[in-house]
Amino acid sequence: MRPMVLDPLFAPVSTLPGVGPKIAKLLSEFIGSRPESDATVADLLFHIPHSVIDRRHRPGIAYSENGDVVTLDVTIDRHHPGPRGGKVPYRITAFDDTGSISFVFFHPRRDWLEKQFPPGERRIVSGKVEWFNERPQMVHPDYVLAPDEAETMPAIEPIYPMTAGLSPKTLQKALFAALDRLPELPEWQNEPYLRQTGWPSFNDALTTVHRPQERQDVQPESEYIQRLAYDEVLASQLALALVRAQMRQQGGIARKPSGQLQQSVINALPFSLTKGQADAIKDINDDLAEPVRMLRLLQGDVGSGKTVVALAAVAQMVEAGAQACVMAPTEILARQHFASMKPVCDAAGLRIALLTGKDTAKNRRATQEQLDDGTIDLVVGTHALFQGSVTFKDLGLVVVDEQHRFGVHQRLALSSKGKGVDVLVMTATPIPRTLLLSTFGDMDVSKLTEKPAGRKPITTVSASLNRLEEVVGRIRAALADGQKAYWVCPLVEESEKIDLAAVEERHRVLEHALNMRVSLVHGRMTADEKDAAMQDFKTGVTRLLVATTVIEVGVDVPDATIIVIEHAERFGLAQLHQLRGRVGRGDKASTCLLLYKGPLGETAGARLNIMRQTNDGFLIAEEDLKLRGGGEILGTRQSGTPGFRIARAEDHADLMEVARDDSRLILATDPNLESARGKALRCLLYLFGRDEAIRLLRAG
């Protein structure tokens, strides 16, 4: 049961004054934390400002800089309405001791303006000044007040992320009403830690952030934002710690086979293991031998050989008498995993099957029967297939590939498919330490840092789009020499149609310039069309593939040696690195060419520099985090850390570490959150939407 003290914060925003059905719907789409349900008062309060306007800046008309927001004390001079029905804006002139200014209005209501700006009277006017033909003007001022009303204008005004259809004044009014509903909450933080940090209470922090007194009050390093960010990351870390405790409690099965089957798999490989692979396999074997469920994340850069480690884990599980499944995010990837695993499985005597959405009902039934009677050891498919009705005789291991949004709940749901199921999650997106803590804090981690033997490093160069003809000439020579190449176009326009036109146009231009058939792959094509184009490229019917970023993950053409990334300045670092990983998968030297349109901004320039300097995905991920926040790294579009509304990975990384240690200590001393602080922490979990973790307390 949610603590009653939180009820005012979980009321829908429509209960606030001034928030009608239309605004409530807009707010739910914009800031609601749960799909399908209305935004709450808490959602609104956690929508925090990103900056402020200082209305205390009063330089006088003549000293107002172009583009500055200023507050002026002026006397109204005259109205200049312009001809009726004409396009000329309505102007009002005013003056102070230093000079004169025009206030400009488009589509004016004349009677309202005459009332607001009475000639000969004083007005306090605040807004952005622009100098035009050496004269200052202010278009549609933010505030126009009589001197006796000047106090009603905030000195420091918070600025919020906005959405179309919502006015700042409406949002502000709703926020002030929400602050009035803030109940007195129990303190969930450790008192000595609060004294040490000098942080305010939760209520004081939230109130100050929405009613800042100084510009720095809303900065990431202010004690108010730090306090709220820590509350948020503590809720997240505590929830992860509870999930981990629950999975540990459910107990695993100690599996200690002889390792013969695993050795057969390793012997069937056409290469020897890297040190990283051998270490990861040892970590997994040690996990499986314990009577505790494995929950391990295998992080490996593009092409570092994670699949081999997964197969070794599968072999260990099968020899111990249980089954395994490998789940991929897309059908293309599932098929690719199956194709690369099958020869090794056949050689080692592992019975492998593929399960996809394209299977006929008859095939599907046959596979299901074999899973139920245990004649299939390993099944490969997409995540979607395992959410539903698939059953096993004895599922012991689940390998989840490349799914960042495969969250805590899915990890728990999967476990219900068998007894004491062990879980291995693999990712080719190198994840910086901070995000690792925030997203996979409940897991042990193994890293693969070297590439398999024989792989050559990729040379990365950048060139301006002005040199396009020269680049096409180089590609022509390389293709004539028998090489294969990718040409990637960005997906950036607001309109998919323009994007499509851009990639189709580039395809047409290249076919014409090279005088040969070129394959094309983009998101609007059907799966069959994409497969056919990829197949042509793989088998060498075509030697150049023009594509949008659909090829980012998992496409494997070992003899492709060149990738051209057009408009590289529009891509994030992690994405550039993933794309570059499409080449350098064979034994030939490979090249990545970053084509950019100048002049480059500072961040874009820094990104291309890092790409030229290093092939190390882990280093790139850390740099990416510094350059642009954590959102993009895990494939979610918004900036900021996934799943967080206040905390930001680049600003609050140190808090993540403290919160993880704090949550472990809390559960060690108060595993069921029964103490006074424990009960307050239950409030915290509910407040930040981590209530699934509370259900685990009850279940356990």
* Residue 48 located in a structural domain: yes
Residue 416 has pLDDT above 70, yes or no: no
Q: CATH number, domain at 101? A: 2.40.50.140
| Pair (529, 598) in one structural domain | yes
Which pLDDT score, from 0 to 100, does residue 628 have?
57
Give pLDDT tens digits for 11-21.
Answer: 999 999 989 99
**62 and 206 in a common domain:** no
Answer yes or no: is 626 within a domain.
Answer: no
The domain in which residue 65 lies consists of 56-153
| Strand order through the sheet with 458-464 | 458-464, 590-596, 560-566, 484-488, 544-547, 519-521
510 lies in the same domain as 595: yes
> Is the residue at 126 inside a domain?
yes
pLDDT at 505 over 80: yes
Task: Identify the residue with better confidence: 329 or 144.
Answer: 144
Separation between Cα atoms, residue 248 and residue 295, nearest integer Å = 9
The structural domain count of the chain equals: 3
Task: Give 439 or 450, the one with higher predicted confidence.
Answer: 450
Neighbours of 700 (CB within 10 A): 13
Q: Kind and range of the H or E element at 660?
A: helix 649-669
Total residues found in the chain within this entry: 700
128: which strand partners?
69
Q: Is residue 321 part of a domain?
A: no
SS3 558: coil
What pLDDT is recorded for position 332?
75
Please check whether residues 188 and 70 belong to one and the same domain: no
Rounded Cα–Cα distance for residues 221 and 218 (Å): 8
Same domain, 148 and 62: yes
165 and 23 share a domain? yes
60 and 207 in a single domain? The answer is no
Given a cut of 90, whether residue 99 has pLDDT beyond it is yes
For the segment 477-492, what is each residue's pLDDT rounded down to a tens digit?
999 999 999 999 876 4
Percent of the chain at pLDDT > 70 equals 88
Q: Can you give the pLDDT at residue 80? A: 93
- Tell me, yes or no, whether 551 lies in a domain: yes
What's CA 279's distance to the chain center, in Å?
A: 30
R_g of the chain, CA atoms, integer Å? 30
End-of-domain residue from the set 598, 614, 630: 614
Q: Is the pTM of this model over 0.85?
A: no
14 and 66 in a common domain: no
Of 566, 585, 614, which residue constitutes the final position of a domain? 614
Has residue 23 been placed in a domain?
Answer: yes
Element (H, E) at 84: none
Q: Are residues 12 and 91 in the same domain?
A: no
Q: Model confidence over 650-693: pLDDT tens digits?
A: 788 788 889 988 998 999 999 999 999 999 999 999 999 887 77
For residues 21 and 72, state if they share a domain.
no
Q: Residue 506: is its pLDDT beyond 50?
A: yes
| Comparison of pLDDT for 337 and 82, the residue scoring more | 337
Stronger pLDDT, 637 or 226, i.e. the higher one? 226
Question: Do 497 and 467 have their domain in common?
Answer: yes
Same domain, 204 and 166: yes
Identify the band that residue 372 occupies on the pLDDT scale cut at 50, 70 and 90. Answer: very high
Q: Residue 557 maps to which CATH number?
A: 3.40.50.300
The answer to whether 69 and 57 are in contact (CB under 8 A) is yes
Asked if residue 255 is part of any domain, the answer here is no
601 falls within a domain: yes
Look at residue 408 and tell me whether its pLDDT is greater than 60: no
Which of the pair, 501 or 572, is modelled with greater confidence?
572
Structure tokens at 278: 């051998």
- 3-state DSSP assignment of residue 120: coil
Q: What is the pLDDT of residue 634?
A: 34
Pick from 119, 153, 187: which residue ends a domain?
A: 153
Mean pLDDT in residue range 123-134: 95
Higher pLDDT, 592 or 630: 592
